[in-house]
């Protein structure tokens, strides 16, 4: 254990608020304002995790969301969150964290043996081996690989927390709360524009909180706090802390994740854990800052080797010391600042190694006086130590190698602008050799980029860029931005000379820390032909870890460029994909889970059905009454059979409200219907209903239902439940898209009307008791297929249709939805002495199969009207949708699968839908497949199992026998092919 710890003073932490937490079961303490990473450092922890492939010991590399190494499992039980970056976790009381991807312990991990045989496990080795013998892959090799891979463990139980989604609109979205972002937001906000400032940190200010730079003569962090306070007080500003804008989508839509309660142990009651925002922004200003690059040298992954900027963050913001004896390795001016700040904090500086021979002698300032060893034109070639840094090997300008003892090394390879969000819509960053770094290329519409994200690495330039972008956005909205003077700040540009790879040290030099991709792997991939940056990424997994290459991509492709002897600009870069940082699946789902996954639609007769004890089933969005059990009935079949017998012998009532209902009016309503149905409706008499079949334009059946004519220019259409929405859309398309000249209007009235079927020989007698006296519903006055508006129960509006799905004398009655339950109850009461019973979907299904009516199982999008025995309905006298293509050769072929009835030869044998039809004596092969069973029922009326099916040749097969073969469930049943109408084939019962 190192002797690192907390500095006695300083930092943006609240020493008055100590916080207790635990890591790997050890109790520790920190302060409010700490991250888990800073608190671990304060407690002397330097070994935090293990890497993905070689299980190498890892510490803390960064102080932000780019962290590849310090990943932990946060919380426990159902709230366990694997792979959580300790550098982004805000410390809270009771925080529990544990290390991951190690066994049996963090200090001693068996799989670290992988590292010893790293030579065999280089990039792509999987692809070259594990192929012998073939059967061993799934049984032996793959399970081992899977177990070794992965990182943390997921929770094993349902996530107990809730997530919200919100939408916001603004004039200007500022992404990032560092100096440039704060300045941009302030300028735009003062102009009166509606501003949202989103910052991923819990403390606005960005690098101002990590550096000792001054603005207007005071600490930069004070300026940041002042500006944040002003923004918070403005009514036109929403300052969103702990909020990461993680993606850019079309139409200036920005997705953001607000971590509402990740900084407490458990969200307070009725509060979400996280909230996902969709922000619609007219302008956006990207001020996301920059990421410091690690340097690539042997064993650069040892705990204690840290980014120089992170060292400054830990010292200046968190007042913790990453080590007692610090060395600095840099290729840019910026790195020196880590030594200066550390020295100011009382940390011993062992050496500063600058790879640039020309590095300015002025760098380091007072350091020289402190007897610090300074190397120019030198490189750290190797880190020494395993679970913690013990020393570094330095090769000086003359090539001499010396060893320097230290327990922390700050490294800086220069800074890369965070251009991720500029790429989400396809923009490619462009290489800027002078930085050297990729800077934003083509930007999403409405976006501008400022500050370090745009390559402006000096503070004064960041502030100026922020102000200019804020003012420019304000002007875009016709607002004037005040010309307040810019705050004064340092304008020294730091110079960098790229150093992509230090060779010569013994040991792996890591490019991608988490995925254990080394400089050697990059070279190997290039030698093997994986030379596109994308192939490099895919072959080596460079940049595919949870940090998505934030610290590795640029180094990797620079090394590739050097291997290929090409400029970096030519090699290019991979495209950053959203999200910027990983987003919890729960947040992207929001409330749509469990019973609330999708809306549940209830029929206007739901209460009535409930009163009668209905069993409901999910049917698309609906809950529908399936059957109405009575005491003593053993299963659904017994109940449904009893309901069928009631309808066939007396009267029953069922709910058909879920059918789509479309009101169509206008002088051309009949013409439109003629064009969308294959049969004719313009000739339908007022007061009549007709069954209609619609085809798709490709000639297959789309939907069926009855449509009634209530007046010359007024029709009411019904559609199937499943297609209610689609048919409405289709009709609107036909009208607006194809025939806008037609004078017709339509609207969905599905939800306005409760509709019930009253079916059975006693249905008229029942209905007569509730229909108002002036409406004659006798057979003579109201024959089959009559449709009229009437009144019932003393003046209640209703529409009565004499149509039958059950095959009995039957009616459908539509009443305003609000009175549905009352009317159903009244009918039940009126029919009590006649034996009325409620019946459900199952009974309806049985009766329609008995009658050979087609439903969704037959109208499956693969059948034509002729297939279904409805060919005669296809008018020859008019044009209609689907007419021409329905005549294509394959749609009119005689061997098409047509609708038939199926009766098992042994009437007691249960048959099942989905069985295929195979000739007797033939092999069960595709070649002998004649068709399949679409629907089955036990018919209480016939007292036997019956089915509908589609068979090659259709009606021509009546009287033949086939086998119903169900290989999945192991049945093979002989059946007779027959007419699909099993019950009352002459249709006498619905008359009379």
Partner 1 sequence: MRIRCPYCGERSNDEFYVLGDADALTARPSGENAEAFHEYVYQRTNLAGLHRELWYHSNGCRRWLVVTRDTRTHEISDVTYASKRGEGEAA
Partner 2 sequence: MKYSIFSVLREGLRGGKGWTPAWREPEPKPHYDIVIVGGGGHGLATAYYLAKEHGLTNVAVVEKGYIGSGNVGRNTTIIRSNYLLPYNTHFYEWSMKLWEGLEQDFNYNAMVSQRGVLNLYHSDAQRDAYVRRGNAMRLAGVDAELIDADGVRAMAPFLDFENARFPIHGGLLQRRGGTARHDAVAWGYARGADSRGVDILQNTEVTGIRIEAGRAVGVETTRGFIRAGKIGLACAGNSSRVAAMAGLRLPIESHVLQAFVSEGIKPVIDQVITFGAGHFYISQSDKGGLVFGGDIDGYNSYAQRGNLYIIEDVHEAGMALWPAIGRLRTLRHWGGIMDMSMDGSPIIDKSPIDGLYLNCGWCYGGFKATPASGWCFAHTIARDAPHALNAGFRLDRFASGRLIDEKGAGAQPNLH
- Segment 867 to 886, residues that bind partner 1, using CB under 8 A: 879, 883-885
Least distance from partner 2 to the Cβ atom of residue 444, Å: 12
Give 964's strand partners: 917, 973
Angle between helix 519-527 and helix 553-564 axes, rounded to 10 deg? 40
Angle between helix 179-190 and helix 459-476 axes, rounded to 10 deg? 30
Q: Does 575 bind partner 1 (CB under 8 A)?
A: no
Six-digit token string for 648: 């066939």
Cα–Cα dist 254/62, whole Å: 27
Nearer to partner 2 among residue 134 and residue 920 (C-beta): 134
Least distance from partner 2 to the Cβ atom of residue 73, Å: 10
Q: Does 775 bind partner 2 (CB under 8 A)?
A: no
Q: Does 130 bind partner 2 (CB under 8 A)?
A: yes
Neighbouring residues of 494: CB distance < 8 A, sequence distance ≥ 6: 332, 333, 334, 457, 458
Q: Cα–chain-centroid distance for residue 448? A: 28
Judged by beta carbon distances under 5 to 8 A according to partner kind, the member of partner 1, partner 2, none in contact with residue 733 is partner 1
Q: Which residue of 17, 593, 630, 961 would you call a contact of partner 2, by CB under 8 A?
A: 593
CA angle 763, 767, 769 (to 5 degrees): 130
Q: Does 916 bind partner 2 (CB under 8 A)?
A: yes
Q: Does 618 bind partner 2 (CB under 8 A)?
A: yes
Q: Does 488 bind partner 2 (CB under 8 A)?
A: no
- Segment 233 to 272, residues that bind partner 1, using CB under 8 A: 249-253
- Segment 277 to 306, residues that bind partner 2, using CB under 8 A: 278
Terminus-to-terminus CA distance in the chain, angstroms? 96
- Residue (of 537, 630, 617, 526) closest to 577 by Cα position: 537
Q: Does 983 bind partner 2 (CB under 8 A)?
A: no
- Segment 640 to 699, residues that bind partner 2, using CB under 8 A: 696-699
Contact 197, 172 (CB under 8 A): no
Q: Which residue of 773, 795, 925, 959 would you call a contact of partner 2, by CB under 8 A?
A: 925
Q: Does 698 bind partner 1 (CB under 8 A)?
A: yes
Number of residues that bind partner 2 (CB under 8 A): 122
Contact 286, 449 (CB under 8 A): yes
Neighbours of 789 (CB within 10 A): 15
Q: Which residue of 783, 818, 914, 987 would you call a contact of partner 2, by CB under 8 A?
A: 914
Q: Does 725 bind partner 1 (CB under 8 A)?
A: yes
Q: Does 280 bind partner 1 (CB under 8 A)?
A: yes
Least distance from partner 2 to the Cβ atom of residue 74, Å: 9
Ramachandran assignment for 73, one of left (phi > 0), alpha (psi -120 to 50 degrees), beta (any other)? beta
- Residue (of 745, 663, 752) closest to 707 by Cα position: 663
Structure-token match 């960041």, residue found: 462
Judged by beta carbon distances under 5 to 8 A according to partner kind, the member of partner 1, partner 2, none in contact with residue 585 is partner 2
Judged by beta carbon distances under 5 to 8 A according to partner kind, the member of partner 1, partner 2, none in contact with residue 361 is none
Neighbours of 188 (CB within 10 A): 35
Contact 101, 151 (CB under 8 A): yes
Q: Does 888 bind partner 1 (CB under 8 A)?
A: yes
Please choose, out of 74-82, 282-290, 499-507, 705-713, the segment that lies near partner 2 by the rule CB under 8 A.
74-82
Q: Does 743 bind partner 1 (CB under 8 A)?
A: yes
Structure-token match 């004649």, residue found: 930
Q: Which residue of 108, 136, 597, 733 would you call a contact of partner 1, by CB under 8 A?
A: 733
Q: Does 579 bind partner 2 (CB under 8 A)?
A: yes
Instruction: Give burial (CB, 10 Å; 0-12/13-18/19+) of 370.
Output: exposed
Binding mask 694-733 for partner 2 (x = CB under 8 A): --xxxxx-x-------------------------------
Judged by beta carbon distances under 5 to 8 A according to partner kind, the member of partner 1, partner 2, none in contact with residue 524 is partner 2
- Segment 422 to 441, residues that bind partner 1, using CB under 8 A: 425-426
Six-digit token string for 215: 């603005």
Judged by beta carbon distances under 5 to 8 A according to partner kind, the member of partner 1, partner 2, none in contact with residue 135 is none
Peptide bond into 707 cis (omega under 30): no
Number of residues that bind partner 1 (CB under 8 A): 33
Least distance from partner 1 to the Cβ atom of residue 657, Å: 21
* E strand or H helix at 383: strand 379-384
**Burial letters 112-149, b for 16+ CB under 10 A, else e:** bebbeebeebbbbeeeeeeeeeeeeeeeeeeeeeeeee
Nearer to partner 1 among residue 268 and residue 737 (C-beta): 737
Nearer to partner 1 among residue 425 and residue 602 (C-beta): 425
Q: Does 780 bind partner 2 (CB under 8 A)?
A: no
Contact 676, 734 (CB under 8 A): yes
Least distance from partner 2 to the Cβ atom of residue 188, Å: 25
Contacts with partner 1 by CB under 8 A lie at: 249-253, 278, 280, 425-426, 445, 668, 671, 697-698, 725, 729, 732-733, 735-743, 879, 883-885, 887-888
């Amino acid at each position: 254990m190192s002797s690192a710890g907390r500095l006695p003073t300083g930092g943006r932490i609240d020493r008055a608020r100590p916080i207790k937490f635990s890591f790997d079961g050890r109790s520790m303490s920190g302060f409010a304002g700490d991250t888990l990473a800073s608190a671990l450092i304060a407690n002397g922890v330097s070994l935090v995790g293990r890497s993905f492939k070689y299980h190498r010991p890892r510490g803390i590399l960064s102080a932000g969301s780019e962290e590849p190494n310090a990943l932990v499992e946060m919380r426990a039980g159902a709230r366990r969150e694997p792979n959580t970056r300790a550098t982004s976790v805000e410390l809270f009381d009771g925080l529990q964290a544990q290390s991951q991807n190690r066994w049996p312990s963090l200090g001693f991990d068996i799989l670290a043996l992988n590292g010893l045989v790293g030579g065999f496990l280089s990039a792509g080795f999987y692809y070259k081996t594990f192929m012998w013998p073939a059967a061993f892959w799934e049984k032996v090799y793959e399970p081992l690989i899977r177990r070794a891979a992965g990182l943390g463990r997921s929770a094993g139980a349902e996530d107990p927390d809730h997530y919200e989604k919100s939408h916001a609109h603004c004039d200007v979205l500022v992404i990032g709360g560092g100096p440039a972002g704060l300045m941009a937001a302030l300028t735009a906000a003062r102009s009166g524009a509606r501003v949202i400032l989103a910052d991923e940190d819990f403390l606005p200010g960005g690098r101002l909180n990590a550096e000792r730079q001054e603005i207007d003569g005071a600490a930069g962090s004070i300026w940041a706090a002042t500006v944040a306070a002003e923004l918070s007080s403005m009514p036109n500003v929403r300052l969103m802390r702990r909020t990461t804008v993680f993606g850019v989508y079309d139409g200036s839509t920005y997705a953001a994740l607000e971590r509402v309660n990740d900084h407490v142990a458990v969200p307070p009651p009725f509060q979400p854990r996280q909230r996902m925002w969709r922000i619609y922004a007219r302008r956006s200003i990207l001020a996301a800052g920059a990421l410091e690059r690690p340097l690539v040298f042997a064993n650069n992954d040892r705990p204690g080797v840290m980014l120089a900027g992170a060292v400054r963050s830990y010292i200046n913001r968190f007042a913790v010391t990453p080590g007692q004896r610090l060395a600095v390795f840099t290729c840019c001016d910026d790195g020196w600042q880590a030594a200066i700040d550390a020295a100011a904090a009382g940390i011993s500086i062992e050496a500063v190694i600058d790879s640039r021979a020309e590095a300015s002698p002025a760098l380091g300032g007072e350091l020289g006086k402190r007897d610090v060893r300074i190397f120019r034109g030198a490189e750290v070639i190797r880190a020494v130590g395993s679970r913690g840094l013990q020393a570094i090997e330095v090769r000086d300008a003359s090539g001499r190698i010396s060893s320097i003892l230290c327990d922390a090394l700050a490294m800086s390879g220069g800074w890369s602008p965070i251009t991720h969000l500029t790429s989400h819509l396809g923009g490619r960053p462009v290489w800027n050799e002078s930085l050297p770094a990729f800077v934003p290329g083509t930007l999403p519409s409405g976006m501008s980029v400022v500050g370090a994200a745009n390559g402006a690495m000096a503070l004064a330039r960041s502030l100026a860029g922020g102000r200019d972008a804020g003012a420019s956005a304000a002007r875009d909205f016709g607002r004037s931005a005040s010309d307040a003077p810019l705050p004064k700040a340092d304008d020294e540009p730091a110079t960098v000379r790229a150093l992509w790879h230090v060779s010569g040290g013994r040991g792996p030099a890591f490019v991608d820390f988490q995925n254990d991709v080394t400089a050697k792997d990059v070279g190997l991939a290039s030698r093997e032909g994986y030379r596109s940056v994308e192939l490099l990424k895919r072959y080596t997994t460079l940049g595919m870890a949870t940090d998505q290459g934030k610290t590795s991509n640029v180094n990797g492709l620079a090394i590739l460029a050097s291997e290929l002897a090409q400029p970096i600009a030519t090699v290019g870069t991979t495209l950053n994909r959203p999200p910027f940082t990983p987003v919890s699946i729960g947040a992207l789902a929001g409330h749509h889970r469990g019973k609330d996954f999708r809306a549940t639609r209830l029929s206007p007769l739901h209460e009535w059905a409930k009163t009668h004890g209905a069993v409901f089933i999910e049917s698309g969005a609906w809950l529908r009454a399936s059957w109405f059990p009575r005491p003593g009935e053993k299963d659904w079949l017994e109940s449904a059979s009893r309901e069928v017998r009631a309808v066939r012998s007396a009267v029953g009532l069922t709910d058909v409200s879920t059918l789509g209902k479309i009101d169509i009016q206008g002088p051309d309503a009949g013409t439109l219907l003629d064009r969308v149905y294959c049969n004719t409706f313009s000739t339908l008499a007022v007061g009549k209903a007709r069954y209609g079949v619609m085809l798709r334009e490709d000639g297959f059946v789309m939907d069926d239902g009855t449509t009634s004519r209530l007046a010359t220019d007024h029709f009411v259409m019904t559609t199937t439940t499943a297609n209610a929405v689609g048919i409405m859309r289709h009709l609107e398309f036909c009208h607006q898209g194809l025939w806008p000249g037609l004078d017709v209007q339509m609207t969905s009235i599905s939800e306005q009307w409760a509709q019930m079927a009253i079916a059975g020989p006693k249905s008229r007698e029942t209905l007569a008791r509730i229909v108002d006296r002036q409406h004659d519903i006798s057979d003579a006055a109201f024959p089959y297929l009559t449709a009229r508006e009437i009144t019932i129960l003393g003046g209640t509006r209703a529409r009565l249709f004499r149509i039958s799905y059950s095959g009995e004398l039957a009616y459908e009655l539509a009443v305003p939805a609000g009175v549905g339950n009352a009317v159903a109850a009244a009918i039940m009461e009126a029919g009590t002495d006649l034996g009325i019973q409620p019946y459900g979907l199952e009974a309806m299904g049985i009766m329609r199969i008995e009658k050979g009516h087609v439903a969704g199982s037959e109208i499956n999008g693969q059948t034509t009207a002729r297939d279904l025995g409805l060919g005669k309905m296809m008018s020859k006298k008019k044009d209609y949708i689907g007419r021409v293509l329905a005549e294509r050769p394959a749609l009119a072929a005689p061997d098409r699968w047509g609708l038939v009835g199926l009766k098992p030869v042994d009437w007691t044998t249960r048959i099942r839908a989905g069985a295929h039809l195979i000739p007797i004596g033939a092999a069960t092969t595709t070649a002998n497949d004649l068709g399949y069973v679409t629907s089955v029922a036990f018919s209480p009326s016939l007292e036997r199992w019956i089915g509908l099916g589609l068979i090659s040749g259709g009606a021509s097969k009546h009287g033949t026998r086939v086998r119903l073969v169900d290989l999945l469930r192991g049945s093979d049943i002989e059946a007779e092919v027959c007419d699909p109408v099993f019950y009352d084939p002459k249709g006498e019962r619905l008359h009379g």
